[in-house]
Amino acid sequence: MPVTFFGLLNPVLTSLMAYVARHEKLTSAQVRDRILEEAERNHKEWYSNQVPNLNYCHAACRLAYLYIVAAANANTLKWILTKNKGLRDYLLEVAKRKRRLKVCAFGAGPGTELMAFAKFLEEQKIGFPVRVDFHLLDIVQEWQESWYAIRDAIDDHFDHHYGPDTAMRPMIPNGCFTTQDVTDTEGLRNRGDIWTQDLFVVNFLLSEIFADNRGFHAFIAAIAERPPVGSRFVFIERSGTMWADRMKSCTAKTGIRLGEFVASRRSLDDGELPELLGNVYQRLSSVPDRGKCPRLNWNVVYSVGVKEA
């Protein structure tokens, strides 16, 4: 059985929901109800046409994100890594030459970028394991819980399908989580030189910063000075010219040359069935009038930038 996003999320959600019940002394029905309430609230905030006020510091809110959105966002990035020929060729060339990829992802706490790379590298069948070193910057430290849980689910999946010898696996995931507000350039002072990355990913972060934020422009400009020439930057956002314009404005005064803006509207890969979430899906989707299903499609605009000399 190949990697599926819902298959990876099943043990993650199952164990994190049990953890919340145990440590917050809630029944499993109370945990379910909190997740459904947070899912409702997240949706309203994302479409409120202002900076969304999200409860990511609360476990139920993060679980709602993982349940509703994570598979769709992971599939979007995996599709772009696969279908954007320039990006795919670049990543495969680096991966084959170094047997390692360095990925810095902004606002990547949940772990969706990690899932995307696990499925991408398994599908590419390179023939040896690629160590993927993720450097994650997210303002919400609590996200590290799901990032590490997803990493463990990937390791368990590969252990089960390729055996305990890591030399037989498509990917060896590695991650370092840094709590960082990406609108605060001052915060970079303490970070040192951690920017020799092959790829930077900005996936559904602009719509949470929401405003055309000068602090974020300064942050991107400061980051863009640091990595090697040729490193890539992928921006992905909701469809619409407003978000394409935000990508342009935040990179305008940087050494990043953005490529074309590509609209992508699709359903998840064949085989990505929410039923793979097992009991989690049963519990969250079947409550009369309030039950929710995970997102099964995407509608985005993306652009791949290159760091120039």
Ligand X SMILES: C[S@@+](CC[C@H](N)C(=O)[O-])C[C@H]1O[C@@H](n2cnc3c(N)ncnc32)[C@H](O)[C@@H]1O
Contacts with ligand X by CB under 6 A lie at 56, 70, 73, 107-110, 112, 138-140, 143, 181-183, 203-205, 208-209
Give the nearest distance from C-beta 174 to ligand X in angstroms: 18
Residue with nearest beta carbon to ligand X: 107
Comparison of 211 and 287: residue with beta carbon closer to ligand X: 211
Give the nearest distance from C-beta 181 to ligand X in angstroms: 4
Comparison of 216 and 281: residue with beta carbon closer to ligand X: 216
Give the nearest distance from C-beta 75 to ligand X in angstroms: 10
Residues 6+ apart with CB under 8 A from 167: 128, 129
Comparison of 21 and 140: residue with beta carbon closer to ligand X: 140
Give the nearest distance from C-beta 108 to ligand X in angstroms: 5
Q: How far apart are CA 246 and CA 260, in angstroms?
A: 14
Interhelix angle 144-162/112-124, nearest 10 degrees: 20
Q: How far apart are CA 260 and CA 57, in angstroms?
A: 36
Comparison of 36 and 68: residue with beta carbon closer to ligand X: 68
Comparison of 59 and 129: residue with beta carbon closer to ligand X: 59
Comparison of 38 and 138: residue with beta carbon closer to ligand X: 138
Give the nearest distance from C-beta 111 to ligand X in angstroms: 8
Give the nearest distance from C-beta 137 to ligand X in angstroms: 6
Give the nearest distance from C-beta 135 to ligand X in angstroms: 13
Query: What distance lies between CA 9 and its chain's CA centroid?
Result: 13
Q: How far apart are CA 45 and CA 59, in angstroms?
A: 17
Comparison of 123 and 181: residue with beta carbon closer to ligand X: 181
